Amino acid sequence: MPANIVVGTQWGDEGKGKIIDILASRADVVVRSQGGNNAGHTVVNNGETYKLHLIPSGILYPDKLCLIGAGVVLDPKDFTGELKSLHERGISTDNLKIDPRAHVVMPWHIILDGLSEQFRGNSDIGTTKRGIGPTYMDKYERCGIRIYDLVHPEVFAEKVRSTGKLKNKIITEVYGGEAVDIEAVINEYNEYGKILAPFVDDVSVLTFDADKAGKTIMFEGAQATLLDIDFGTYPYVTSSHPLSAGVCVGTGVGPRMITNIIGVAKAYTTRVGKGPFPTELDDEIGDKIRTVGGEFGTTTGRPRRTGWFDAVIVKHSVRVNGLDGLAINKLDTLCGLGTLKICVGYKMPDGSVINNFPPTLEELEGCEPIYEEAEGFTEDITGCRTFEELPLNCRKYIERLEELCGCRIAMIGVGPDRSQIIER
């Protein structure tokens, strides 16, 4: 049976939540494999808007098994708040499970995230300051606290006192910050542990068993390809692997289980935070795309930087993820913009032209986009449900993106609601 991965192909915020929601409705199991509450999925279903950060989008369907894998870093305070919000809207979380290996975001992680960004000054990365990077740092330093620890109070208290002592030393003596009250943290987090305990189960085993039982599985990614710690625009990246390969590591399954990998992109490009952005528009068109497209962060509310579609970026994503198909969202946002532009390559400072995404930030900063133009459209496409219903210029635009990216475009979003989708 199908095991689908959905990944972002740009800098995130491509509307993965909508595509994930559509595929989740057809799946038996939905798995989140990496990242933390720095991610956000906005899902519009039957006119209702849901903003999810840690809990898989499949939670909106009571018959789906929803799993949070070992590769996720979980802030229990934020998580319990998300649970409460769903319960208040009548959404059941009975089918939700969390892997005991997943790491816990602790208060000192959030403090250190903010202090380190402050210390960097103008060289800051532009993190969400939610402690994600410091949590992954502790994971790889092998001093992290995991969900298993959280739901075992004696183990948790011992590890918090040990690790917290070191973290307070760093906070106070390196950054000049205020120490964390360790005993208060233990008392507060013990309450979270009681809430989370019923959800803890081995996600690797549950996923493997579901596959063996012939269930349809969907793995949802957080962030996106250009935020990958290795293949993104380092250092302006996240601290995990949002690539398709990261799903296997973060869930504990082998790659042979995967049958279909879908990449999600917008019909243009956006970015939040610092770092080079070759096709960025600092003009009236960029402002219009931001306003019409509602380009403000799900998690932070920050206005997103906007620009033309960059085929060099998406071609890079097709390669490193092994994409079987693309979903292009927000085509409707381009309505009425006049002539559209597509970046087809980069011009380097020495005058040479490259068509592959450069591996370093230094090279990318020197790139100037090479554009080709496409005729725009003025027709309202929000009611279109087949490719043939789209205006000719829309169809030409999509077909040209396919050629440039080297990947079939299987889905086209023409509005925010899950029903506003064209499947080819």
Confirm whether 287 is a catalytic residue.
no
Tokens matching residue 4 = 């689908």
Of 248, 258, 244, the closest CA to residue 322 belongs to 244
Quick one: CA torsion of 387, 388, 393, 394, rounded to 10 degrees?
Answer: -20
| Angle made by CA atoms 288, 402, 266, in degrees to the nearest 5 | 30
In the three-class reduction of DSSP (H, G, I as helix; E, B as strand; rest coil), residue 380 is classed as coil
| Cβ atoms 390, 307 nearer than 8 A | no
In our burial notation (b when 16+ CB lie closer than 10 A, e otherwise), range 386-411 reads eeeebbebbeebbebbeebbebebbb
Separation of first and last alpha carbons in the chain: 21
Confirm whether 13 is a catalytic residue.
yes
Place of tokens 């050629």: 403
- Type of residue at 238: T
Give the span between the Cα atoms of 319 and 272, in whole angstroms: 23
Residues in a beta bridge with 73? 103
Considering only CA atoms, give the Rg of the chain.
22
In the three-class reduction of DSSP (H, G, I as helix; E, B as strand; rest coil), residue 37 is classed as coil
- Which listed residue (13, 21, 75, 324) is catalytic? 13
Q: Which region, left, alpha or beta, applies to residue 237 given φ > 0 means left and ψ of -120 to 50 means alpha? A: beta
| Cβ atoms 155, 149 nearer than 8 A | yes
Residues in a beta bridge with 66? 30, 96
Give the span between the Cα atoms of 225 and 315, in whole angstroms: 11
Give the span between the Cα atoms of 409 and 309, in whole angstroms: 14
Tokens matching residue 354 = 């490259």
Q: Report whether the peptide linkage leading into residue 359 is cis, meaning its omega lies within 30 degrees of zero.
A: no
Give the span between the Cα atoms of 13 and 350, in whole angstroms: 33
- Which listed residue (41, 53, 103, 241) is catalytic? 41
Query: Catalytic amino acids?
Result: 13, 41
